[in-house]
Structure 1
Amino acid sequence: MATLLKNATEIQKGKNKKSKDNATAGPSEEKTYKPRKDKTLLLCSRGVTQRMRHLMRDLEVLLPHTKKDSKLDTKSSLHLINELADLHSCSNTLYFEARRHEDLYLWLSRSPNGPSIKCHVQNIHTMDELKMTGNCLKGSRGLVSFDGSWDNEEHTKLLKEVLTHTFSVPKTSRRLKPFIDHILLFSLLDNKIWFRNFQIIEKDPLTPTGPPIPSLVEIGPRFVLNPIRIFEGSFGGSTLYSNPEFISPAATRASIKRDAGQKYKIRKQNEIERDQRQKRIREELPEDQLSRKKVFA
């Protein structure tokens, strides 16, 4: 009997020791886990239009982990943005670069070591312009969703990773509200990135007492990103990927003006040829008997 009691006490002591070890090991394991603390710096260059400014405002509302800065005066020394990101403790950067007051380019960079992506922004439609029926809570956390075509090539995998770090809101954001009620969708079509924002609706508004039927309603904004070049560093460095199908909008406008000038040149050339042909015909015809020279000779 004494041996049984001795064995039972030893087993109980062993259990207590394991529980203490687990209790002491628990916080240490939790300390090793470091939550993601990504912040995104949002800024633009001089010369942005009203539509571009409204698009920036919509993205600032959708991403509560962004920090907005004033306009950047220079367009050649983009490496200064890395210093601004360091001052604001931001690891990602969204920089909108306006050219000729009509072309908008978007830089997505991982500061300060890269990589960075330069895209041309097309088909911009803001929230105020679309007037969609969807609505979401300001400061809520959105799900970042990608379709299945992003894992086919290496440069699309890199694009997916940069977009995930830039647009996904971490749990440690101060302005974040503990709700997930919208989805940020990035679709890859025709080598372009199509951005859409949808609200998650749990119940059908026509039958509020019925069973929950999840559905999506678009909120806005809408825009399309055409990737131009992927750089190894932040706002510079060696080129990892270059889009061979991209044609700058300035070159497109120049070709349209060149075609219009070519049409004008052809029309004027036809007028000159017509005048020369009529003059030659008049010279080849015999002189009329009732001409002024013969009547008043």
Structure 2
Amino acid sequence: MAKRKAREVAVSDPDVKQTENEPSTSEHGLDFKNKERVLIVTSRGITFRYRHLMLDMMQLLPHAKKDSKLDTKTERNLINEVAELKGCTTGMFFETRKHKDLYVWLGKTPAGPTAKFHVTNVHTMAELKLSGNHLKGSRPVLSFDATFDQEPHLQVLKEMLTQTFAVPRRHHKVKPFFDHVMSFTVADGRIWIRNYQVLPNPEKKKAAPGDVTLVEVGPRACLNPIKMFAGSFGGPVIYENPSFVSPNAIRAALKKQQSGKYGAKVDAREHRKQHVAANPLPRSELADVFQ
């Protein structure tokens, strides 16, 4: 009877690899039901710092899959086709413009929604050299600020970040325990990402199960929401950040300010010449003594 029951379980659930002598995993609630996979794609012309940030994100996402670089001049709908071929449900696109600005597109494929962020304050793990160090492939504990529940677009972003960074339990590349915490905090209208390792309190020899301390690992990044689309990497705009200022406008304002300083110097020089010409000094009586 036990062999017959094992055969029936193996036939009814093809995702669970079952042998005749092994007990059923469905009886213990260990079925692999979370099929979330993340596709990570970059644009051409990405800088070394942003590439290292992408590699750090891939270490935090053992269920992620990487594909070749995408030309930004083509349509971003190709990400949906690549995600379908690789069996991914989420797409993360690192777009670099002018070798200076980094934009991250986070979208659910193939139906959406999609969020576009401007990434600032980037610090990779190689730059920080922090003392924290967690095991590669372990599952993170996601910590969200209470501000995420106050506005509708933040609620959508919270769900998208949860589905992206929540590592599936029964994935073949995942360790079955938690040893680090990923923090998402909203401040000044931006999302600040931090990663901490969970360690026992070193000050106490016999620490309680809940008596732990957090040591930062990295990387660090700040996501400034720009727009949210109803579709996957496109479609109608459902949210637009009114306080967002593009980095091109900031650089143009700085150049205008610097050009204003130079113009003021030129005007002051011309004014000095006119003043000297209009007010000549009187001739000295001893000017020709030593000639």
Q: How does 1:128-277 map to 2 (within 5 A)?
A: 128-201=126-199, 203-212=200-209, 213-277=211-275
Contact 2:91 2:106 in 1 (8 A): yes
Q: Distance in 2 between matches of 1:61 and 1:109?
A: 20
**In the comparison of the two structures, how many residue pairs are matched?**
259
Q: Give the superposition deviation at 1:278.
A: 2.5
Do the aligned partners of residues 289 and 46 (structure 1) sit closer, same or farther apart at CA in structure 2, a change above 3 Å counting?
closer
Evaluate the alpha carbon distance shift between residue 231 and residue 210 of structure 1 in structure 2; reply closer, same or farther with a 3 A threshold. Answer: closer
The 8 Å contact of residues 45 and 75 in structure 1, kept in 2 or not, is answered as: no
> What TM-score, normalized to structure 2?
0.82
Residue 266 of structure 1 and its aligned partner are, at CA, apart by 1.6
> What amino acid is aligned across from residue 105 of structure 2 in structure 1?
W
CA distance in 2, matches of 1:94, 1:172: 22
**Which residue does 2:3 correspond to in 1?**
none
In structure 2, C-alpha distance between the alignment counterparts of 1:266 and 1:199, rounded to whole Å: 53
Distance apart, 1:208 and its partner CA = 4.3
Q: Distance in 1 between matches of 2:75 and 2:196?
A: 37
Distance 1:265 1:76, change over 3 A: farther
Counterpart residue type for residue 158 of structure 1: V
Q: Show the counterpart of 1:117.
A: 115
Trace 1:59-70 onto structure 2 (pairs within 5 A): 59-70=57-68
Aligned counterparts of 1:75 and 1:196: Cα–Cα separation in 2? 32
**Counterpart residue identity of residue 81, structure 2:** E
How big is each residue's C-alpha offset from its partner over 1:136-195, in whole Å with a ceiling of 9 and x where there is no partner? Answer: 111111122211111001111011111111111112422111121111111111110000
Consecutive unaligned residues of structure 1, counting only runs of 5 or more, are 1-23, 291-297
Structure 2 residue aligned with 1:95: 93
Q: Which of residues 50, 53, 61 in structure 2 aligns to 1:52?
A: 50
Kindly provide the CA deviation profile for residues 14-36 of structure 1, in whole angstroms up to 9, marking residues without a partner as x.
xxxxxxxxxx9xx99x79x9822
Q: Is the 8 A contact 2:32 2:171 kept in 1?
A: no
Coordinate RMSD, CA, aligned = 2.4
What SS does structure 1 have at the residue aligned with 2:276? Answer: helix
Residues 108 and 116, structure 1, Cα contact 8 Å, conserved in 2: yes
Q: Structure 2 regions of 5+ residues with no counterpart?
A: 1-8, 14-25, 286-291
Which residue of structure 2 lines up, in the alignment, with residue 36 of structure 1?
A: 34
For residues 146 and 155 of structure 2, the distance between their equivalents in structure 1, rounded to whole angstroms, comes to 11
Q: What residue identity is the alignment partner of 1:222?
A: R
Deviations 1:29-61 (A, max 9, x none): x79x98220100011111111111111111111
C-alpha distance in structure 2 between counterparts of 1:116 and 1:235, whole Å: 6
Find the residue that maps to 2:258 and give its secondary structure: helix
Equivalent pairs: percent with the same residue?
47
More off after superposition, 212-221 vs 110-119: 212-221
**Which letter maps to 1:179?**
F
What's the offset of the Cα at 1:204?
2.8
Shift of the alpha carbon at 1:207?
4.3
CA contact (8 A) 1:37 1:172 kept: no
Partner AA of 1:262 in structure 2: G
Please state how far the C-alpha of 1:71 moved relative to its aligned partner: 0.9
**Which structure shows the higher helix fraction?**
1
Task: Give the Å deviation of 1:73.
Answer: 2.0
Residues 228, 243 of structure 1: 8 Å contact kept: yes
